[in-house]
Amino acid sequence: METTVKKHIGRNISRIREMKGMKQETLAEILGISQQKMSVIENTEELDDAKLNEIAKALEVPANAIKEYSDERMINYVNNFYDNSSSQGNSFNQGIYATFNPLDKLVEAYDENKKLYERLLQAEKDKTTYLEQLLKK
């Protein structure tokens, strides 16, 4: 079941932007406009072709994809784009891979918790010793 939304170009831009995980402020900055102006554009039903092409370029999608937006087509486009780009060695997904060993971080956190517990235990022992000294006086 393919849902095509042709009527509202601004809403289509918003959906594509959100699908790409981009904030409105980010797209506005790329386009060199204010966030408020980007909001107005996303609430506009029709856009001239020049502005549409500029936004499509910023979103890295064809202008036609915005005009004839559908959830299914966009998901396929994004998936194919990322699949192809990763096979060419210049993947945009490189930033999500950890540059550290998560187990090392877990061990570090465990060691830190152990040190904090030992300090807490020592503080309680010191407090107990101090209270015992007060009671003896």
User: Could you tell me the pTM of the whole model?
Assistant: 0.51
Query: Domain containing 16: what range?
Result: 4-93
Q: What values do phi and psi take at 5, rounded to 5?
A: -120, 105
At 24-69, the pLDDT tens digits run: 888 899 889 998 998 898 888 888 888 888 988 888 888 887 887 7
pLDDT of residue 93: 46
Distances (CA, A) of 34 to 29, 38, 104, 135: 7, 6, 43, 69
Within a 10 A sphere around the Cβ of 109, how many other Cβ atoms? 10
pLDDT of residue 97: 55
At 83-131, the pLDDT tens digits run: 554 444 444 444 455 567 778 888 999 999 999 999 999 999 999 999 9
- Judgement on whether residues 54 and 83 belong to the same structural domain of the protein: yes
Q: Which CATH number goes with the domain that contains 50?
A: 1.10.260.40
pLDDT of residue 91: 43
